[in-house]
Structure 1
Amino acid sequence: LGAVNKVIKLVIADAKSPLHGLKDEDIIVQNGGLYSKVKPTVGELYTDILKRQGLQDVRASAITKVSTRQSTEANPATAGSAEAQIEDESKGNAAVQADEKLDRKPYSFHSFGAHFVKVLVDPDLGMVHVQKVVGVMDVGTIMNLKTAKNQIMGGMVFGIGMALMEETQYDPNRGRPVIKDLSNYLVPVNADMPDFEVEFINKPDTIISPIGARGIGEIGITGITAAVANAIYHATGKRIRQLPITPDKLI
């Protein structure tokens, strides 16, 4: 919050910024930049703001204590220091104050998503090609749309590999892996890629934090294997419950 507040003050004071002259409360954070709350199309990216100011980055720190987090004793900030100033700003910030008072014990914090998969199956050879994958994610506030989509698409690729290709085989006599390197371990490549479509609900979860963002690390892979298996069942009538779903299981 301290770093964001610093950048907001920069654009308000900068005559070259489209947000020049606005009040703090009239500026919102979204899609990797700052935008007008009244006119969401008016704004600029952080990269453009910092470049115009001749800055590489903006740093700040703050100390926040929340009832359900494990408390740690932080070193007290020296009076008059930048850390003390940021701490004072945080204490006076309404969002931080509300965050400190919130009891999170009754809540469970998870990200949610749904995947839809379209496959083509060769009835003679049992070959499966994933033609299209659509994913809709509820992960709270999206801080950066481009990187968020890339993260989900990467998870989808992992899921396709798990569903159709990747398998560790063991020697039944020695119990050791037969496949020792990537030369014989199949993973999806560019030729296997379907059309990807990723959408986000982008609804802030202000209970988890004032920013409203939840975890987006592995939600892209969760559910892809089941969606692929269901699509294959819809196409062939064969319900395969063991991964990977290889051609020998379909012919």
Structure 2
Amino acid sequence: MTHFLADTLWTARGSGPLLPRSALAGIAGLDEAYLIQQQLAAMDPGPVAAWKIGATSPAALAAIGLDEPFFAPVKRPNMHLGAAVMAVRAAHAPLLETEFAVCMGRDLPARGTPYGRDDIALATASVHAAFEVVATRFEGGVAQSGLLAIADGGVNQAVVIGPEIPCGDPLSFDRIDVTLELAGVETARGTAAGLLWPHIFDAVAWLANHPRLPPRSLAKGDFILTGTCTGVTPLRPALAARGRFGSGAVVEAEFIAAA
């Protein structure tokens, strides 16, 4: 059953039609949702290059219909370094998120003692400006999608990793203003202080300690997207987006219609 659902979602990610939610209603719980996610990821070529954390604020949890955040791997073909030109499908209800991405400077293998903020700070190579493009392959978008969002690759389409964010004090990331501009007009603004965790390194620790994280765990070079600071903003083709992180880093992307 899980392989059938993963195959169905994989087809829909391409040129397939949106799936009715009733076709995916048989997901029994979190374990099964993550199993489908893993099976779906195995169909996507390339190694894991990043991890997304989703539903990272009380409002997002309520909107998506979950009791806790979730995570999903991002394969290398779906990660863009620097300014990107990206195709989006209007039928997949694409959304844009602006967030901090933490680049790991060392492996974080599973261990008996939980990782804490200090461990993550020591293991971090750099922190970057980033975009995530969210898209759904089932009807109704992300609203109240619950387990479907987890199974559908964490509703990730792609991530864009921008430049490193200069910051003399790692504890001050939550005070950096983050703004999103579309076609040169500011559309949204926020900070990491709106996330569920007191600091972005706490979000990475949550992921590193997660009991459902695959055996590979977090590895040197992985980028961890810690949750949107600007909410979710609808995308359409022919838009140029710019995410500003204080006065120090800008991530950029242009969106075109998928063929």
The TM-score, its normalising length taken from structure 1, stands at 0.22
Greater length-normalized contact order (CA 8 Å, ≥ 6 residues apart) = 2
